[in-house]
């Protein structure tokens, strides 16, 4: 690779949004540049953005370090939008113009951008808008219009669904997804241009436009729809209740039909809970954020789709279309997993082969079910100075290698003897596996268990994973025997779930119910863990924590040992090996 172009979005993503003009400028530039990046990087890494601090600097510095992928690359800094468009003029055919009065058309424009190699530009006759300076000036030719050329709307509520939003998505579905022009295995759930009405609800980067590049590169179908049947969304309050959810299911069914039910469907993004579809702040809904997440997870799962959960407020990611070309190895072995001999050598089983009488504790270190979270958090959490001082189980969903392959490889290249890796929720993607089992509410489709098994086996094999650290059941049914059996095939060393017996072994696969989520001061957390100790020893307890550092875990361990000397913190593979022996 001879050279890489660098374009800086830091300034526009870090400036405060004080008025509508600044919000429109930020939105329009980020949308255009991210779409262009997706087209440019489709078959090769050519364009890198400096967008999300400090992650983009960290990964660029590592990727260009000695012995790494881009060690000898030449950097070409692009100074302006005009220069950027000139540099890559061979990668786009013109523009798709979308309707500021129908925010959903911004997502329709991203769908079309990936399929027709067009740049999404919002219709705006203001003197300094991108529409004026690029389209009206004649620099970029408008190819596709999502409104009339006089600025009036094509998509209105004068249709059977009585919803301009639904009308635009159904039109896109019929003309692109249903016709096989989209990649049916890639969906993108990202906030539409409704953001322009409430740009300061969360950090500017949470418009998540910089996440679009990967999905445009892969010809994904974009949407932003509420999951509930009992409410109208805040962005279209006169819409008949449940219309959003109805359209969401129709999109998922179309994608499923395009795959003939033989492939899992990667859905990037997350319920934009601070903006829409919940009762948080101005979001205008009836339901709490977590129930909205669970409702969405249920619906996805019913159609063989899984979440790559770019959730607020660290859901912004840049450069995934660039990172997708990182040259991964076919196999990344972990540190050696425990054997009977190694357990004996560590004194964890006695001379009779019995598990010693201790209270065994292991940690599920999450939540890493989002490529954006992995990309942004690894630089400081993984590089905490106390990593390696105690056994830790890092729950990195292996499917995150699709968008954050460099982060997955980095952790394997720099792991200590005390680091091990398990899958997060609920395997190679966030899903409710109970919704793969028949009967399947929402979809009434045939079982998806075999498709899920084959999907997970590929990722688990590459990353040498054999434990699923947390199966999120949410509102779905727990695993039945068929579900347990498919997990045994790709996760034979153990699973953790919500709707499961307290602990046991299923056909040789150990399992346990997830205990509490942990948060707070280490000394208080240690007391919380201690409060869960009961009965005879050995006892087995697994706890989940979110975005906690190794230093935090070391402090918890030290406080716990002071109040319960029989507490023994072990890694998840040792934990499940001992549980299996005990039962």
Task: Give 329: exposed, middle or buried? Use CB within 10 Å, 0-12, 13-18, 19+.
Answer: exposed
Q: How many CA atoms lie within 13 A of 477 on its CB side?
A: 15
**DSSP secondary structure letters along 534-553:** -SSSSEEEEEEEES--HHHH
Q: How would you list the strands of the sheet with 142-145, edge to edge?
A: 118-122, 94-98, 142-145
pLDDT of residue 8: 97
- Tens of pLDDT along 543-574? 999 999 999 999 999 999 999 999 999 999 99
pLDDT of residue 1: 63
3-state secondary structure of 188: strand
Tokens for 97? 């113009």
Structural contact between residues 131 and 107, judged by C-beta atoms closer than 8 angstroms:
no
C-alpha–C-alpha distance, residues 365 and 392, integer Å: 7
Q: What average pLDDT is seen over the chain?
A: 97
Q: Is the Cα dihedral 113, 38, 277, 423 positive or negative? A: positive
CATH class of the domain defined by 340-582? alpha beta
* Nearest-10 Cα torsion for 525, 55, 109, 262: -60
How far, rounded to the nearest angstrom, does the alpha carbon of residue 496 sit from its chain's CA centroid? 20
The DSSP H or E segment spanning 485 is: helix 481-490
pLDDT of residue 2: 87
Tokens for 140? 């970029």
Contacts of 293 (CB under 8 A, 6+ apart): 270, 271, 273, 311, 474
- Domain-by-domain residue ranges, the chain? 3-323, 340-582
C-alpha–C-alpha distance, residues 151 and 166, integer Å: 20
Structural contact between residues 430 and 297, judged by C-beta atoms closer than 8 angstroms:
yes
Candidates 207, 214, 200; CA nearest to 122 is 207
pLDDT of residue 542: 98
pLDDT of residue 572: 98
Structural contact between residues 195 and 270, judged by C-beta atoms closer than 8 angstroms:
no
- Tens of pLDDT along 75-134? 999 999 999 999 999 999 999 999 999 999 999 999 999 999 999 999 999 999 999 999
pLDDT of residue 27: 98
Structural contact between residues 436 and 375, judged by C-beta atoms closer than 8 angstroms:
no
Low-confidence ranges of the chain (pLDDT < 70): 1
C-alpha–C-alpha distance, residues 194 and 197, integer Å: 6
3-state secondary structure of 527: helix
Q: How would you list the strands of the sheet with 186-189, edge to edge?
A: 221-223, 186-189, 265-269, 305-308
CA distances, 33 to each of 70, 99, 318 (Å): 22, 19, 11
């Amino acid at each position: 690779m001879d050279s890489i172009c660098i374009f800086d979005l830091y300034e526009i993503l870090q400036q405060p949004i004080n008025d509508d003009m600044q919000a429109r400028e930020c939105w329009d530039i980020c949308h255009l540049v991210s779409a262009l990046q997706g087209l440019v990087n489709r078959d090769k890494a050519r364009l890198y953005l400096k967008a999300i601090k400090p992650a983009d600097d960290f990964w660029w510095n590592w990727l260009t370090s000695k012995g790494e992928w881009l060690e000898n690359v030449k950097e070409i800094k692009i100074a302006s939008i005009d220069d950027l468009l000139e540099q890559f003029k061979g990668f786009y055919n013109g523009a798709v113009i979308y309707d500021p009065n129908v925010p959903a058309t911004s997502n329709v424009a991203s769908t079309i951008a990936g399929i027709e190699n067009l740049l999404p530009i919002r219709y705006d006759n203001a003197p300094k808008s991108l529409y004026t300076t690029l389209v009206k000036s004649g620099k970029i030719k408008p190819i596709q219009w999502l409104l009339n050329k006089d600025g009036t709307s094509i998509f209105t509520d004068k249709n059977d669904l009585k919803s301009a939003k639904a009308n635009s998505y159904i039109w896109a579905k019929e003309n692109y997804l249903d016709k096989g022009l989209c990649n049916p295995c890639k969906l993108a759930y990202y906030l539409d241009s409704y953001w322009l009405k409430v740009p300061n609800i969360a950090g500017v980067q949470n418009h998540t436009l910089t996440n679009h590049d990967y999905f445009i590169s892969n010809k994904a179908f974009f949407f932003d729809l509420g999951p509930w049947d009992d409410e109208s969304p805040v962005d279209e309050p006169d819409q008949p209740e449940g219309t959003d959810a109805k359209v969401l299911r129709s999109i998922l069914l179309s994608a499923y039909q395009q795959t003939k039910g033989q492939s899992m469907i990667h859905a990037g993004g997350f319920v934009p809970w601070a903006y829409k579809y919940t009762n948080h702040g101005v979001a205008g809904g009836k339901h709490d954020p977590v129930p909205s997440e669970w409702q969405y997870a249920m619906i996805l799962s019913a159609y063989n789709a899984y979440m790559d959960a770019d959730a607020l407020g660290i859901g912004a990611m840049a450069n995934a279309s660039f990172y997708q070309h990182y040259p991964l190895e076919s196999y990344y072995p972990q540190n050696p997993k425990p054997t009977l001999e190694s357990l004996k050598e560590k004194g964890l089983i006695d001379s009779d082969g019995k598990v010693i009488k201790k209270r065994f504790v292991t940690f599920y270190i999450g939540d890493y079910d989002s490529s954006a979270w992995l990309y942004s958090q690894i630089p400081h959490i993984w590089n905490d100075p106390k990593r390696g001082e105690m056994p830790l189980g890092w729950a990195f969903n292996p499917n995150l290698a699709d968008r954050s392959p460099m982060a997955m490889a980095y952790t394997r290249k720099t792991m200590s003897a005390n680091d091990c890796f398990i899958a997060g929720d609920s395997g190679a993607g966030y899903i409710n596996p109970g919704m793969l089992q028949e009967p399947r509410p929402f979809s009434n489709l045939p079982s998806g268990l075999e498709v899920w098994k084959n999907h997970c086996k590929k990722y688990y094999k590459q990353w040498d994973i054999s434990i699923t650290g947390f199966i999120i059941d949410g509102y779905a049914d727990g695993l039945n025997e068929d579900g347990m059996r498919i997990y045994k095939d790709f996760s034979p060393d153990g699973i953790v779930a919500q709707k499961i017996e307290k602990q046991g072994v299923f056909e040789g696969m150990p399992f346990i119910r997830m205990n509490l989520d942990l948060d707070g001061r280490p000394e208080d957390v240690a007391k919380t863990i201690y409060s869960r100790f009961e009965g005879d020893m050995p006892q087995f307890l697994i706890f989940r924590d979110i975005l906690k550092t190794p230093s935090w875990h070391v402090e918890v361990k030290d406080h716990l040992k002071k109040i319960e000397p029989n507490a023994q913190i072990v890694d998840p593979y040792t934990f499940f090996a001992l549980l299996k022996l005990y039962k």
